[in-house]
Amino acid sequence: MHRFLAVVFVLSCSAQTPPARIKVDVDRTIGEVDPKLFGNFAEHLGRMIYGGIYEEGSPLSDKDAFRTDVMDAVKKLGVSILRYPGGNFSSGYDWKDGIGPKAQRPTRPELAWHDLESNRFGTDEFLKYCERIGAEPYICINAGLGTVDDARQWVEYTNESRHTYWADQRRKNGREEPYKVTYWGLGNEIDGPWQLGHKNAEDYSKFAVQAAHAMRLSDPSIKLVACGSSNYGADWIGWNRTVLTALRNQVDFIALHTYIGNRENDLERFLGSSQRIDHYIETTAGAIKAALTGINNPRPIYIAYDEWNVWYRAQNDQHLEEVYNFEDALAMGMFFNSFFRHADVVKMANLAQLVNVIAPIMTNKQGLFLQPIYFPIAEYGKQRGNVALRAWVSSPTYTLNREQLPYLDVSSSYSAKDRAVYVNVLNRSKSQDISARVENQQGALSSNVDVWQMNYPDLKATHTFGDDKKVVPSTRALQAAVDKNAFAYTFPAHSLTILKLHVE
């Protein structure tokens, strides 16, 4: 920051009135914080499945070859819904290779990530894993090289209760009861030229309408996710418009994907990526509205942000084993704040990915460690009300892409049952603590405030095996000096804070 500006900033911070204000009001609701916002993603890629959640012959694995140490960490992460099997992988995958006796499953070339696929982990293993971790399964069909009938038969295999060919194959493979998979993705990033079976919007829509129709005839209760655009350099809005118009009577969600990075080593720009995320959400929400206009009693369509994360250091040859630092942990709060602020339209979100591959959990043969991003992801799922509130924020700002961006990036939620208001605050300033007056509009604020915070002097601090206790959250019970239903709180520079307020 320029020296003069910094002096002005510090002076205003130290004045009587805090320079920032955050107002919460339990009457100003946005929408339900959908439990599916705390989803995750498991792709056949690098060491995500093999050596990640599944390792045959490991003393750390159970009888199903699930790594129990990993499963424990996954359960504590609070994964509500798990997307599978890809990603780019899905566009070349034949699900029939991954069922039945393991010795008879074929090894195939894996074209998306230039690997070999042994198929020793497949549909039954995935669905069993979901049941063990208590997550809803979400399967992405092959809309690249696959066929409509492959997709339909996959639904029959997992969901059919009558004695049909594929339901009986499932029984033969040890599962009597249908798995009842509700969420199905109609392909992955088909607008990307990198995708196997890449199509234009019209061709994709034609395929997806037919697949949706056939899959729903197999099970009318399923919910479908259209493949939204991920190719932001191209006409991504046009793609979404075409797909939404063609699929508006068929789908329940449209997917968005976003990866961010800090190549310029500019923290405030990096944490200002919320500009883009908000823009993608709001533009797509507009496209949904436009597509549903004029339709009698339309099927509501929501956004599934089914791939999101920081990803820019580890490229393909490293199997995407991104090492996350403290500033990346802050970015997790930024993503969730945006999802909460759009809780009326974003009804699913899946961090990409769960283990080893751009992931919060890293393994080797002997154990695992938790990356700094693990903690905010777990916390946002735990510390929240079921309803998002529209917080009013007045904060010092900085200029990014010609826009004034508040240093304090805020979201809020409310639990009527617990009479608790959660205020999630990311201070994006690299160097300035920001003092704020936190004001409550409805009900009397108790002086008991629970504080969860992540703050660390070194933005680039990382974890590794045997050293993962550094960049971790702290918690404390604060006795706030409540005055006129408000109190002052100072958010340290580059920090992420969740305040739990109790309202009587």
Considering the rule CB under 6 A, would residue 352 count as an interface residue with ligand AHR? yes
Tokens of 207: 């395929």
Q: Which of 55, 189, 327, 379 is catalytic?
A: 189
Considering the rule CB under 6 A, would residue 360 count as an interface residue with ligand AHR? no
Which phi and psi angles does 473 have, rounded to 5°?
-75, 160
316 neighbors 114 (Cβ within 8 angstroms):
yes
CA distance 363 to 48: 10
**Binds ligand AHR (CB under 6 A): choice among 40, 61, 88, 250:** 88
Neighbours of 466 (CB within 10 A): 9
Active-site residue flag, 403: no
Considering the rule CB under 6 A, would residue 218 count as an interface residue with ligand AHR? no
Q: Is 187 left (phi over 0), alpha (psi -120 to 50) or beta?
A: left
3-class SS letters over 154-174: HHHHHHCCCCCHHHHHHHHCC
- The span of 27-35, 83-91, 248-256, 334-342 binding ligand AHR (CB under 6 A) equals 83-91
Q: Least Å distance between CB 348 and ligand AHR?
A: 15
**Binds ligand AHR (CB under 6 A): choice among 18, 86, 122, 146:** 86
- With residue 177 as reference, give the H or E element that holds it: none
String marking each residue 10-39 x if it binds ligand AHR according to CB under 6 A: ------------------------------
Q: Least Å distance between CB 415 and ligand AHR?
A: 33
Considering the rule CB under 6 A, would residue 43 count as an interface residue with ligand AHR? yes
User: How many Cα atoms within 13 Å fall on the side-chain side of residue 35?
Assistant: 9
Instruction: Classify burial at 330, counting beta carbons within 10 Å of its beta carbon; exposed 0-12, middle 13-18, buried 19 or more.
Output: buried
Cβ proximity to ligand AHR, 314 vs 488, nearer residue: 314
Dihedral sign, Cα of residue 73, residue 75, residue 76, residue 78: positive
Pairing of strands 81-84, 39-41: parallel
Q: Least Å distance between CB 145 and ligand AHR?
A: 15
CA of 228: how far to CAs of 185, 217, 312, in Å?
11, 23, 22
Q: Which residue is nearest to ligand AHR (CB)?
A: 87
Active-site residue flag, 189: yes
CA of 299: how far to CAs of 180, 345, 396, in Å?
21, 13, 41
**Binding to ligand AHR in span 101-140, by CB under 6 A:** none
Q: Which of 136, 307, 322, 327 is catalytic?
A: 307
SS3 122: coil
Considering the rule CB under 6 A, would residue 87 count as an interface residue with ligand AHR? yes
**Binding to ligand AHR in span 184-203, by CB under 6 A:** 188-189
Residue with tokens 């009013």: 392
Q: Least Å distance between CB 466 and ligand AHR?
A: 28
- The span of 85-93, 95-103, 130-138, 199-207 binding ligand AHR (CB under 6 A) equals 85-93
- The span of 82-90, 146-154, 274-282, 446-454 binding ligand AHR (CB under 6 A) equals 82-90
- The span of 50-58, 80-88, 160-168, 201-209 binding ligand AHR (CB under 6 A) equals 80-88
Considering the rule CB under 6 A, would residue 306 count as an interface residue with ligand AHR? no
Q: Least Å distance between CB 444 and ligand AHR?
A: 46
Q: Least Å distance between CB 308 and ligand AHR?
A: 10
- The string of DSSP codes covering 6-47 is HHHHHHHHHSSS-SEEEEE-TT-EEEE--GGGGEEE--SSTT
Residue ranges in contact with ligand AHR by CB under 6 A: 43, 86-88, 188-189, 307, 352-353
> Which residues carry out catalysis?
189, 307
